[in-house]
Amino acid sequence: MRTITAPPPPTPLSRYDAPTRPPLRVALVQHRWHADPDALRAELADGIAAAARAGAAAVFLPELTLRQYPAFVRAGENPGADAEDLHTGPTATFAAEMAREHDIFVHASLYQRAPAPEGAEPDGLGLNTAILVSPRGEIVAHTHKLHIPISPGYYEDTYFRAGPAEDPYPVHRPEGLSAAFGFPTCWDEWFAEVTRSYSIAGAEILVYPTAIGSEPDFPDFDTRPLWQQVIVGNAIANATFMIVPNRHGDEGAITFYGSSFICDPYGRILVAAPRDESVTLVADLDLDQRRDWLALFPFLKTRRPDTYSSLTAPVTP
């Protein structure tokens, strides 16, 4: 697997004070699904090892890391039957093995087995969950996907229950990583409210494990530029770094378009992947850029929450 390393962090565009923190080196792995589980794990392991050799403190993997994307067809009666345990399932086990072997934080995504909330009717669904595993092999953060797509080819509402509204935007400051992280997932990246909520809570880096590609109903409509522009725009408006690992390859009704990337709070793409290749991306994040950008453009301080009540009102399609 090829490794693409970003050049040193670009010159700050607005720096009022001297840097207070060293750069944080991070990596992501863009991979494709393999029907052979051993081949799939081998490709991911190759990418994780490359990230560790490059000196990354953490490596981030795409959505539903160890399984084929299921939602291009509607689920059957009990889709959660093959979901996995958060702590002991194959994804957590694989991530822990890699983290311990390479002394690196490993982020992954899984279809989590989760019964319906107490008092609710059984629905057969599970949760789409992102995890972060420490170099000791322990899960130190997990976050459930909040927004669930319902469009043709992405019938995720027939597989996943939306994450709960209690503590929906947790910010994690893992010991050994010098930054505050949020771990939403894929469809969440389209919602400005998600980035803003994390930014208000102090998140500096958002990680979006992703599975996005072609549109079965509109095969000539390439959404890749729009997808990237929305994420980058949210980064600019909220002074966050964005780490976005996507998969690539044809999995049936959808061809995933890769194009994973890392951007900074000024909207600059630090490093990006091609559409159709398994690669490891590595970049150094100048963490003081969030401070600098918000000093110049104080979006959070000049908000008008007293005018935002309509944002929580129901919308008629």
Q: What is the pLDDT of residue 225?
A: 98
Q: What is the pLDDT of residue 151?
A: 93
Residues in the chain with pLDDT values less than 50: none
Q: What is the pLDDT of residue 19?
A: 87
Q: What is the pLDDT of residue 176?
A: 94
Q: What is the pLDDT of residue 72?
A: 93
Secondary structure (DSSP) of 32-94:
B--SSHHHHHHHHHHHHHHHHHTT-SEEE--SSTTS---TTS---S-GGGG-B-TTTSHHHHH
CB 225 within 8 A of CB 257: no
Q: What is the pLDDT of residue 122?
A: 85
Residue (of 63, 73, 72) closest to 31 by Cα position: 63
The C-alpha atoms of residue 163 and residue 145 are separated, in whole angstroms, by 5
The C-alpha atoms of residue 122 and residue 198 are separated, in whole angstroms, by 31
The C-alpha atoms of residue 27 and residue 48 are separated, in whole angstroms, by 8
Q: What is the pLDDT of residue 306?
A: 95
Q: What is the pLDDT of residue 65?
A: 98
The C-alpha atoms of residue 65 and residue 44 are separated, in whole angstroms, by 9
Bridge partners, 160 (sequence order): 126
Q: What is the pLDDT of residue 116?
A: 83
4 is written with which tokens?
A: 């693409």
Sheet with 2-5, strands from edge to edge, namely 2-5, 279-285, 24-30, 58-60, 105-112, 127-133, 139-144
Residue (of 51, 16, 21) closest to 241 by Cα position: 21
Q: What is the pLDDT of residue 12?
A: 79
CB 286 within 8 A of CB 19: yes
Q: What is the pLDDT of residue 142?
A: 98
Residue (of 230, 151, 155, 222) closest to 191 by Cα position: 230
Q: What is the pLDDT of residue 310?
A: 93
Q: What is the pLDDT of residue 38?
A: 97
- pLDDT tens for 148-164 read 999 999 999 999 999 99
Q: What is the pLDDT of residue 264?
A: 97
Q: Determine the angle formed by the axes of helices 224-238 and 192-200, rounding to 10 degrees.
A: 30
